[in-house]
A and B are shown apart, each in its own frame.
Chain A
Amino acid sequence: MASHSVGETFELVREVDRYRPIYYAGASGDFNPIHIDPEVGRLAGLGGNILQGLCTLAWAVDCFARYLGDPGAVTRVQARFSRPVALDDTLTFRGVVTAVDGERVHATVRAENQRGEEVLKDVAVEGRTRPEGLR
């Protein structure tokens, strides 16, 4: 049976390619100009357009889903968006299991850019341990 234990770690690295906010806008419907128009981002003092926070969060969740082995096993996700993510940033997600109680795995994920700055804060995720016999 799949076992999880406190202190186990998992990691995912994602590069923010230049068109990522456009792809995410198209799929999610979040066409806020700050995400797709570099000029709007510059006027807001952000140096250009920025990635949707929910895209960053989706990657943090993916990092945990890979660890669980099943995205359908994720039961809870929580985060604060603490810093804008710019194009060409490289994000590193590092998770650690904080508790395992019966059928639930609890973990936190640290999400930082290439300068070591946290782009999400207080990321907490929770998932089901995989039932036996499921691939």
Chain B
Amino acid sequence: MLDKNAVGRTSPPTLNEVEKGAIRRFAEALGDFNPVYYDEEYARAAGYPTVVAPPTFPACFHSSADLRELLGVTVKSLLHTEQTFEYERPILAGDRIFVATRVADVQERTGPAGRMDVAVLEDEGRDEEGALVFRSRRTLVVRSSREP
């Protein structure tokens, strides 16, 4: 089972630069052609300094979190069962966001397929001044094997 001591373990913040091209590709991948994601002039007319990222864009951010290190197990399979995003402000092209991942909770649950481990990971994104930009929580059902 997962190590209860993993709770609170946090990866060091990792820089994510929000590029205009990455926003465009992400919006295209969703088949979402809202011009506020693509067109600078449109975005300015809508009250933004530049193009905006779709709300779920933090899904493609990286942190230095290594699940094996954070959870103390070798992950054999992962099932993503729940997701939350909270935004302090919209994410904009040119943002430099530092993302850190923290183990918020680990639990053992018994389901139809037997015992399973559940981990809740919380990502926090802050700008260069340290101001919070977003917070997200992922709940993962983890099948693991413990290695020495």
Contact between A77 and B56 (Cβ–Cβ < 8 Å)? yes
B83 touches A135 (CB 8 A): no
Inter-chain contact B60/A23, CB cutoff 8 Å: no
- Shortest Cβ distance from residue A76 to the other chain B in the assembled complex, whole angstroms: 5
Q: Is B83 touching A71 in the complex (CB atoms < 8 A)?
A: no
Q: Given the interface contacts A71-B36, A72-B36, A79-B82, does A58 sit within 8 Å of B28 by beta carbon? A: no
Contact of B29 among A24, A70, A71 (CB under 8 A): A24
Which residues of chain A have C-beta atoms less than 8 A from B83's C-beta?
A: 53-54, 57, 77-79, 81
- Interface band, chain A: 20 to 34
Measured CA separation A28–B34 after assembly (Å): 18
Are B60 and A14 in contact (CB-based, < 8 A)? no
Kindly provide the distance from the CB of A70 to the nearest chain B CB, expressed in whole angstroms: 7
Task: List 20 A-B residue pairs with CB atoms under 8 Å apart, sorted by A's residue number.
Answer: A20-B29, A20-B31, A23-B31, A27-B25, A29-B60, A58-B32, A59-B30, A62-B32, A62-B54, A65-B34, A70-B36, A70-B46, A74-B55, A74-B87, A75-B87, A77-B83, A78-B82, A79-B84, A81-B80, A81-B81
> Besides the contacts A79-B82, A135-B47, what 4 more A-B pairs have beta carbons closer than 8 Å?
A65-B34, A75-B86, A78-B85, A79-B84
